[in-house]
Amino acid sequence: MDKLRVGVAGVGYLGRFHALIYSRLPEVELVGVADTRPETARSVAAEAGCAAFDDPAALVGQVDAVSVVVPTTLHLEVARPFLARGTHVLLEKPIATTVTEGREIVRLARASGAVLQIGHLERYNAGVMALASQIDRPRFVEAHRMSGFVARATDVDVISDLMIHDIDIILALVGSELTSISAAGTPVLTRHIDIANARLEFANGAVANVIASRVSRDKSRRIRVFQENRYLSLDFIEQRLDVVYPRERPGEEWPEIVTERIAIEPVKPLDAEIADFVSAARARREPLVTGEVGLEALEVALAVRERITGG
């Protein structure tokens, strides 16, 4: 099979990593990178060994697949010409700023048969994959994602920036229809919501409590899942998964509480995400995080925002 011709539209902080990873894959030919800042495009192109362009449209027709790593407000505008031609697209999360735009992106991919993958990076976290393998009918989920302030992510609120990761993970773990959302939050440093808490209730009785902050002093990323006879705790940063469960003790009234640490083999999530995209594009199969999955996460994230802002 011929090499997959790939480009990267937008090579700022994250897009640069996309380009460098593609440049190392033997089954990929990195055709070029594009950025509206010509100096940035040339710098990354020199690192990755490819051509540089100052307009993403210059890649249209030259590539089989493309990573779109531009501000969320530009997702539809930049992705549209690629999807319309049937070019496979890895689109950074969130899929769009509005549900209408997200639906149009999904429609374009369906119409042309292009593979559309949304960059919910945490789904490729080795710890999350290990956690998912241990889950059986979760009843309560608690997720905390706390970070310090980073100026480069202020075009969206903390819900679309950070909380959407845990929303996506929880939707996948619970696997039931969402029936109720309540939320609170406030801006702190930006004009957008910087800290938020949401309670999600599902048709199967499961409940999730999600907290996200980008104005915290300490960085913390944890998720805890409670189910019958088992409690699981994942530390995303330490890549540590603990499983707590009761073990019967003959002759004793109460069982022993046992903690077992599950070994997690470290995997770089972005490498795994891009490898899945390349494989899906070459095989024309669905990736782990489809456009529909990204759209559902966006719909919930925007509903959380509406509960906070009142509209």
**DSSP state string for 209-241:** EEEEESS-SS-EEEEEEEETTEEEEEETTTTEE
Percentage of the chain surpassing pLDDT 90? 86
Q: Is the dihedral of CA 209, 214, 217, 218 positive or negative?
A: positive
Contact 82, 236 (CB under 8 A): no
Contact 20, 27 (CB under 8 A): no
In this predicted structure, the answer to whether residue 217 has a pLDDT above a threshold of 90 is: no
CA distance 54 to 294: 28
Length of the chain: 311
What's the whole-number mean pLDDT along residues 134-158? 87
* Domains identified in the chain and CATH numbers: 4-121+270-289 (3.40.50.720), 123-267+300-309 (3.30.360.10)
In this predicted structure, the answer to whether residue 89 has a pLDDT above a threshold of 80 is: yes
In this predicted structure, the answer to whether residue 153 has a pLDDT above a threshold of 70 is: no
In this predicted structure, the answer to whether residue 252 has a pLDDT above a threshold of 90 is: no
What's the whole-number mean pLDDT along residues 227-235? 94
pLDDT classification of 267: cutoffs 50, 70, 90 = confident
CA distance 42 to 32: 10
pLDDT higher at 143 or 154: 143
Mean per-residue pLDDT of the chain:
95
pLDDT classification of 152: cutoffs 50, 70, 90 = low
Contact 58, 35 (CB under 8 A): no
In this predicted structure, the answer to whether residue 6 has a pLDDT above a threshold of 80 is: yes
In this predicted structure, the answer to whether residue 154 has a pLDDT above a threshold of 80 is: no
CA distance 279 to 232: 31
Query: Tens of pLDDT along 18-55?
Result: 999 999 999 999 999 999 999 999 999 999 999 999 99
What's the whole-number mean pLDDT along residues 85-112? 97
Cis amide bond preceding 94, omega within 30 = yes
Q: Tell how many helices (H) and how many strands (E) occur in the chain.
A: 9, 14
In this predicted structure, the answer to whether residue 195 has a pLDDT above a threshold of 80 is: yes
In this predicted structure, the answer to whether residue 170 has a pLDDT above a threshold of 90 is: yes
